[in-house]
Amino acid sequence: MDSTTAPARHRSSLGRYFEDFIVDDVYEHFPGRTITDTDNIQFSLLTMNNHPMHCDHAFAAKSEFGKPLVNSGLTLAIVLGMTVADVSGKAIANLGWTDIKLTAPVHPGDTIYAESEVLEKRESKSRPTQGIVTVRTIGKKSDGVVFMSFVRSVLIPKRGHGVQDIA
């Protein structure tokens, strides 16, 4: 940069507008997250889930898994959180989750990742400045094993009509 050029200012953007979503696009969410024993125990206790598979290593050692399982509510929350920057950062509202599947165990120490595929988008019939985007999200462990999937619909503003546009 020379002395006559003013430095540029850049603001990061959270999420996408309705027009930015393209059916069949896949967003690989970053970064991943390694789930710790502490994460699992604190989440389980916070949500009043005291199942010994989540917090009692001796009990879990006698199970078919041989070690504790991460609370599935925690894995769902983390995977959902991973999607916000790409899918719902500009959202007006989550409209619902369907078809939630838990397909493999997750254990403390596992690192998980997520990706979302745009399944559908349509303009809102009752809100002309907004649209509905539906995605399928999968959670994968670092070894590639898919442990979770769900479908989510989100109400998204069109460009020029989001809170970020009026702030």
Q: How confident is the model over 49-81, as pLDDT tens digits?
A: 999 999 999 999 999 999 999 999 999 999 999
Which fold, 18-166?
A: Thiol Ester Dehydrase; Chain A (3.10.129)
pLDDT of residue 14: 87
Order of strands across the sheet that contains 111-123: 26-34, 111-123, 130-141, 146-157, 93-102
Which of 9-18, 28-37, 64-73, 148-157 shows the lowest per-residue confidence on average (mean pLDDT)?
9-18
Q: Is the pLDDT of residue 11 over 80?
A: no
CA distances from 60 to 54, 56, 69, 165 (A): 8, 6, 8, 50
pLDDT in tens, 18-31: 999 999 999 999 99
pLDDT at 164: 67
Nearest residue to 37 via CA among 54, 61, 60:
54
For the chain, which residues make up each domain, given as ranges? Answer: 18-166
Question: What's the pLDDT band for 3 if we cut at 50, 70, 90?
Answer: low
161 band by pLDDT with thresholds 50, 70 and 90? confident
